[in-house]
Amino acid sequence: MSTMQNTDSSKKWLHVLALWAGAILMIVLLPLLLRSSFMLSMASEMGIMIIFALSYNMLLGQGGMLSFGHAVYFGMGGFIAMHALNFINAGVLFLPLEIVPLIGGLGGLFFGIIFGYVSTRRAGTPFALISLGIGELIAASSLMLPSFFGGEEGISGDRMAEITLTPFGFGQQIEVYYLIAFWMLVSIGLMYLLTQTPLGRMANAVRDNPERTPFVGYNTHIVRTIQLSLAAFFAGIAGGLFAINYEIVTSEIVGAIPSANVLMMTYIGGTGYFFGPILGAILITIMELMLANITHAWVLYYGLMFVAMILWAPGGLAGLIMMHKQLWQGRVLSGVLKAYAVIAGPVIILFLGCMTLIEINYHLSLSIKPEDPLHIFGIEFYAQSIWPWVISIVLSIGGLVLFQRSRRIVSRAWQTAGMQLKQKDSGS
Amino acid sequence: MIEFLVFSLLNSLLYGMLLFMLSSGLTLIFSMMGVLNFAHASFYMLGAYFAYQISVFVGFWPGLIIAPLLIGAIGALVERFGLRTVHKSGHVAELLFTVGLAFLIEEAVILIWGRNAADYRIPELLDSPLFTLWATDFSMYRGFMLLIAVIMFIGLYLVLTRTRIGLIIQAALTHPEGVSALGHNVPGVFMLVFGGGCALAGLAGVIGGNFFITDPGMARMLGPIVFVVVVVGGMGSLTGAFVASLLLGAIQTFAVGLEYSLTDLFMLFGVSLSFQEGILKDLFRIQIAHTGPILPYLFMVFMLIFRPKGLMGTRET
């Protein structure tokens, strides 16, 4: 029995190791595939956002704390790292550039301990509100204290420092990319290991049942404070990398918008699994950089996606993937896939209708010359004529009706698949 | 000095009453359903935009009635088809749903009316001074806003204390489970209260939008302040929300007029300090007038830390 468990757990570790080796190989080789500098900047941004979103999930997913002010730690880390960078360049501080993100992390940790201690006495709505209040406080005072936050224009610095540990000079984006990739891997590894420690487990306990946790001898307030401080540490590292990557930090990054962004990113990725926020960060960064070039309306699509996830898929992308993985392992996925093929038509019709409607409206209200023609999938038309309106409204309503009908097919397919899974379980 | 005092008092009363129009609905929803509605200020914004659109077609006065009713209907629909769906996923999901909704409403407003401020004007009839004191005008529109706010206050009081549904709402404020156990249709009451609260926020938007500004940022400006009112006032207490609204109105209005800084404070004790640079120089230069935006949040954070029940709350948030 015990040998079987041993082989099981060693198998699991082999699996994890293989996953890590694959990830590292992919990250190292990725720049060879991404020839354009745009892609490289996107990959750098993605790395920063992955750390930020994972650190947010230490609060929301693992600790059950809904924070509306996580950008405070990201931003403070960024500002402190930027000041450190400027001190290094002025010759006051002797540190290699590679360590600067860690300074940002320590800055985040410092504020995390202070704000964490005062805000985590209770979770739930009080915590959410205190985090919102602290976020607004820092955002408002960032304009009042220009010597630290740099006022309207922010603080800029030069990342090509004298002292480095590596032969890199950090003049090129690819060198910054590898720096970000290094800190990302270290942070992901540490955050994953943290979930396996007693602290990680107690954070889950505090999330699930704060009344009973004291009975096993843990102080919920202290557990939450430590969890938040560590999350703030990793957010600070992300902020430090942000400072190095962009060489400028403005007071906007401590504000409400990045706080809301990391919340939405993490939720869309899925808070229930460790890898969820990684998916969310990758997807949203791609959307932000790609869609923003194509349409004014990308923020609306982003918001619609967030609300759709809350309504229909509270587990996020990771939850969806794991649901299907279970069916796939039980070999009952085909029925569900057939139902998806049926519902795909209505979804596409509905999406096309709504998208055209949104694009026409944005064209009318926001573009410089609404009289100009509009292009969607290579079709040229004018927003002033009535036909695009009629067609898109008909598509939307028709798609919605068909969607509601075929939804039943999907839920029935899920029920059958679940039953089949149960039968197989009891049969084996 | 007396002039400053009298007009600041009048303005803070006005601002406070407007805040109460928003916070009364929010506190009712929050106390009954346990959901802090992040989209509440978005309904205020929608009220202003609807009234603007109606005023373009038929003038200001019909909008005063139609816009709040429309907003109330939208609010009831949001409760019925949105919040009730996510209710099974727990409080965090409900809270996040309202956050997403606020996000979507803001984008939808930009989508329809554009990013610039709408040209929503005060009706000409009310565009003259009501009275003049020490050469400062008090406009007729301010008087009108006060009147509407007072009518709303009395109406809300009568509904809550004199009608059957009001009594059920009051009972549900403090003992939601108990009311449900007595066989009242609590989901129906929730829908009604949610719609009603949104309609009040919409009304505040109708009369506030043309007084301040009607632009897509107005919800984000006011939203957090309304939370502060609800938290400071205390859960389950309309009186608390009223007191907190007036208090915050006063704090913000008076702070704007006071141009003292820490340097002046030390001067008072005969200590003259001056810093050449750094954080201390910034800190000593800040005037009370500039701290207006952060005072409410400071107030809220300290309240939550030291007295989570709020001023007059009956239970913890």
- Among A57-66, A371-380, B196-205, the range scoring the smallest mean pLDDT is A371-380
Nearest-CA distance A31 → chain B (Å): 35
Q: What is the mean pLDDT of residues A328-348?
A: 83
For residue A165, the surrounding DSSP H or E stretch is none
Q: Quick check: is B253 in a domain?
A: yes
For residue B206, pLDDT beyond 80: yes
pLDDT greater at residue A73 or residue B158 = A73
Would an 8 Å CB–CB cutoff place A161 in contact with chain B?
Answer: no
pLDDT one-digit tens code per residue, A190-201 = 999 999 899 999
Would an 8 Å CB–CB cutoff place A295 in contact with chain B?
Answer: no
What does the pLDDT read at residue A94? 83
Nearest CB partner across the interface for A136, out of B91, B103, B224: B224
Domain, as residue range, for B169: 2-216+243-258
Considering its fold, how many domains does chain B have in total?
1
Q: Which long-range contacts (CB under 8 A, 24 or more apart) does B279-286 make?
A: B279/A145, B279/A147, B279/A148, B281/A147, B282/A144, B282/A145, B282/A146, B282/A147, B282/A148, B283/A145, B285/B261, B286/A144, B286/B261, B286/B262
Calpha distance A47→A240 (Å, rounded): 12
pLDDT greater at residue A57 or residue B298 = A57
ipTM score for this prediction: 0.84
pLDDT one-digit tens code per residue, A239-292 = 999 999 998 999 888 888 899 999 999 999 998 898 999 999 999 999 888 887
Nearest CB partner across the interface for B104, out of A260, A307, A362: A307
Rounded percentage of chain A residues whose pLDDT exceeds 90 = 30
pLDDT one-digit tens code per residue, A291-337 = 877 777 788 888 989 998 888 888 889 988 888 888 888 777 888 88
For residue A365, pLDDT beyond 90: no
Averaged pLDDT score across all residues of chain B: 81
For residue B240, pLDDT beyond 50: yes
pLDDT one-digit tens code per residue, B68-112 = 899 999 999 988 888 888 888 777 888 889 989 998 998 888 888
Q: Quick check: is B161 in a domain?
A: yes
Nearest CB partner across the interface for B305, out of A118, A128, A263: A118
For residue A81, pLDDT beyond 90: yes
What does the pLDDT read at residue A242? 94
Nearest-CA distance A283 → chain B (Å): 18
Nearest-CA distance A163 → chain B (Å): 27
What does the pLDDT read at residue B18? 86
Q: What is the pTM of this model?
A: 0.88
Nearest-CA distance A336 → chain B (Å): 23
Q: DSSP assignment of A71-124, as one string?
A: HHHHHHHHHHHHHHHHHHHHTS----GGGHHHHHHHHHHHHHHHHHHHH-SS-H
pLDDT band of residue A1 (cuts 50, 70, 90) is: very low
Q: Quick check: is B30 in a domain?
A: yes
Would the CA dihedral through A73, A74, A75, A80 be positive or negative?
A: positive
For residue B58, pLDDT beyond 90: no
Q: Which of A62, A130, A362 to mutate to test the interface with B (most CBs of B within 10 A)?
A: A130
pLDDT one-digit tens code per residue, A154-175 = 888 888 777 777 777 777 888 8
Interface contact A137-B82, CB threshold 8 A: no
What does the pLDDT read at residue B207? 87
Q: Quick check: is B281 in a domain?
A: no
Nearest partner of A392 among A416, A363, A425, A414, judged by Cα: A363
